[in-house]
Amino acid sequence: MSPKVAVAGKGGVGKTTLSAALVRSLARSGQRVLAVDADPNNCLGRALAFPEHLLDSITPLSDMKQLLAERAGTAEGGGFFALSPPVQDLLDKYAVEHDGIPLLVMGTVDQPGAGCVCPESAVLKALVRYLVGLGDVSLVVDMEAGLEHLGRGTARHVGALLVVTDPAPASARTAARVARLAKGLGLRLPGVVLNKATTPDAGTKVRPYLDGLEVFATLPSDPALAESEAVPASGPYADAVEELRAKLAQWLASEDN
């Protein structure tokens, strides 16, 4: 089974950057990969160097209210909605592709409101389940910041949750909270990804705030990232993500056995 991961963490820690770099790394390794942007401020496409006109042409699926209502079977004003709405064609119709990488902009999948069972989000969640079930396609889902949305379920279906932190204690505390919540939901968690590390002891320094979580991988602070919105294909950051991909594949394989 190809890896299906979601990337979560506090605002600004580097979720989108890691998602894009991981997508690129998976593609380079010869895997079919789908990039999913589940952040309402969608910018995964930019990190993947999609041209501006293509990005402008995208409407997040979550904004297609009529389409979602039709799929849910509530467009005609029906009070009930389908529990397994048809979603297979949404990928073909709404994913955009650049440089051999398809991108699906979902927008806000998990609508606010505890226990929300609105038809729109039921369709989007069904779509996530469908994508996770695609055996030969790797999936990387860039999640919105924070942890509130986790309880609403999208990430629940993925194979592993990568929780990103930077060296700041506040980010690490958020990562620990995200991890605790995720574990409570039954999600598999290889550990945290420490990003923007500037010193070799960054992992040791951040550990006290991680509530016993392991640092699964450390990614260096890389000035090349500040120079362009698109993630660089080479350099120390890209190399570290390459290692992370290999380690994650091993971890997923050992979890499956």
Q: Which of residues 117-156 bind ligand ATP (CB under 6 A)?
A: 145
CB of 117 vs ligand ATP, minimal distance in Å:
27
Binding-site residue total for ligand ATP (CB under 6 A)? 18
Q: Which of residues 12-51 bind Mg ion (CB under 5 A)?
A: 15-16
> Measured from the CB atom, is 55 or 219 closer to ligand ATP?
219
> Crossing angle for the helix pair 15-28 and 236-256, nearest 10 degrees?
80
| 71/86 Cα distance (integer angstroms) | 7
List the end-to-end C-alpha distance of the chain, in Å, as a whole number: 12
Q: Given candidates 5, 6, 8, 15, which one binds ligand ATP under the rule CB under 6 A?
A: 15
Tell me how crowded residue 185 is: count the other CB atoms within 10 A of its CB. 13
Nearest CA to 36 out of 130, 142, 111, 122 is that of 142
Q: Let me know how long the chain is.
A: 257
Radius of gyration (Cα) for the chain, nearest Å? 18
Q: Given candidates 165, 171, 174, 195, which one binds ligand ATP under the rule CB under 6 A?
A: 195
Q: What is the DSSP letter of 151?
A: G
Binding mask 28-67 for ligand ATP (x = CB under 6 A): -----------x----------------------------
> Residue 202: what residue type?
A
CB of 119 vs ligand ATP, minimal distance in Å:
27
| 81/44 Cα distance (integer angstroms) | 31
Contact range with ligand ATP by CB under 6 A, out of 11-19, 118-126, 152-160, 173-181: 11-19
The entry of ligand ATP, Mg ion, none that residue 31 binds, CB within 5 to 8 Å by partner kind: none
The entry of ligand ATP, Mg ion, none that residue 195 binds, CB within 5 to 8 Å by partner kind: ligand ATP
Residue 151 Cα distances to 33, 155, 163, angstroms: 26, 9, 15
CB of 219 vs ligand ATP, minimal distance in Å:
5
**136: three-class secondary structure by DSSP:** coil
Site residues, ligand ATP (CB under 6 A): 9, 11-17, 39, 145, 195-196, 219, 221-222, 225-226, 237
Site residues, Mg ion (CB under 5 A): 15-16
